[in-house]
Amino acid sequence: MEIPYNVQVREDTGVYNSKLGIWLFLASEVMLFGGLFSAYILLRTGAPVWPPIGEHGSIAHLLTETIPHATFNTVILILSSVTMVMAWVSLKMKDLSKFRLYLGTTIVCALIFLVVKYFEYSHKIHEGFVPSHDTYMALYFTLTGLHGLHIIGGIIVLAYFFGPGIKMWGTEPERFTNRIEIIGLYWHFVDLVWIFLFPILYLLN
């Protein structure tokens, strides 16, 4: 049994099934992060000072120190988004070795992002700024943590396509290209979330 429009585009709707599926999934993700962003707005507007002052004082000075790291991370993620597109384009041009190169770069960028994040986390926790310290820290860890989980999830899928998943290129090249387009859409979304997180957590304090 074959499901129609699994690979081919349906003429009157202009998409194939999984492309519509990923857009709906991303719509739900927008609502998920939208809920968290509205929590940020509500808690921030209700706070007398921002970031709030807790047991170890305010995180403000530490944040100014970490802006360069976060900026570096922003650049890294944007770069990974660019290489993600390049990987997809390489497949469209039937160049598998270039695809490997670009997809590999994307994965490496994502890993660098996580390493930088790890040092940021441990530095903050070391200074006593744990999630329960104040509402800013709670939001910071929840938002970046959830974003980090999305990155990890993305890495797992990308690694699959870099490794065993690539076999599909030999049997169903068109379907494999579609898969890369879809994980690419997800990856751009994860990148976009960071573009919002970076100003609200680091710059606007």
Could you list the residues that contact another protein (CB under 8 A)? Answer: 1-5, 10, 13, 15-18, 20-21, 24-25, 27-29, 31-36, 38-39, 42-43, 46-47, 52, 54-55, 130-135, 137-138, 141-142, 146
**Other beta carbons less than 10 A from residue 11's beta carbon:** 7
Shortest Cβ 88–another protein spacing (Å): 21
Which lies closer to another protein via its Cβ, residue 43 or residue 116?
Answer: 43
CA 173 → CA 19, 93, 101, 176, 180, distances in Å?
16, 11, 18, 5, 11
Q: What b/e sequence results for 71-101 when a residue is b if at least 16 CB atoms lie within 10 Å of its CB, and e otherwise?
A: eebbebbebbbebbbbbbbbbeeeeeeebee
Distance CA 194, CA 84 (A): 16
Shortest Cβ 164–another protein spacing (Å): 17
Which lies closer to another protein via its Cβ, residue 18 or residue 105?
Answer: 18
Distance CA 155, CA 189 (A): 14
Distance CA 45, CA 39 (A): 10
Tokens coding 43: 């808690």
Shortest Cβ 120–another protein spacing (Å): 17
Which lies closer to another protein via its Cβ, residue 107 or residue 124?
Answer: 124
Which lies closer to another protein via its Cβ, residue 10 or residue 167?
Answer: 10
Q: Are 106 and 195 in contact (CB under 8 A)?
A: no
Which lies closer to another protein via its Cβ, residue 73 or residue 135?
Answer: 135
Which lies closer to another protein via its Cβ, residue 111 or residue 185?
Answer: 185
CA 138 → CA 124, 151, 152, 161, distances in Å?
12, 20, 21, 35
Distance CA 76, CA 111 (A): 10
Shortest Cβ 104–another protein spacing (Å): 28
Shortest Cβ 22–another protein spacing (Å): 9
Shortest Cβ 8–another protein spacing (Å): 11
